[in-house]
Amino acid sequence: MIPLPQAEESQNVRALARLEREDVTGIAAATLTLAQNPVEAAAPPGTSVYINVFKNGVLLSNVAAPAYSVAGKVITFNTALIASDVVVVCYYARAS
């Protein structure tokens, strides 16, 4: 992947990225793998402004006491999901 010419927090990154939404159910695990790389997948915990994770309709926090972490395409939850959980992830992915 070619590095962006601007910092990932730049407003231009949103213009160069596309908004993705993934709806997931039936997973009983502590990790979830996304289809695309989020813009700030490598950002330190508590700094994400381009990814939102909802579990059963509740927005999870990754600030202060994070409920999840992101590394590349993988989201790791502090508490494992159960099969009946509904997870929605909205994030900016780099345009190809």
Residue 5 counted as domain residue? no
- Asked if 49 contacts 90 with a C-beta cutoff of 8 angstroms, the reply is no
35-60 pLDDT tens trace:
988 876 555 555 566 789 999 999 98
Residue 31 counted as domain residue? yes
pTM, rounded to two decimals: 0.74
Residue 59 counted as domain residue? yes
Minimum mean pLDDT range among 50-59, 61-70, 71-80: 61-70
Residue 39 counted as domain residue? yes
Residue 6 counted as domain residue? no
**Total number of domains constituting the chain:** 1
Residue 3 counted as domain residue? no
| Amino acid identity for residue 8 in this structure | E
Q: In terms of residue numbers, what domain contains 53?
A: 11-94
2 DSSP 8-state letter:
P
Two tokens, residue 14: 């949103």
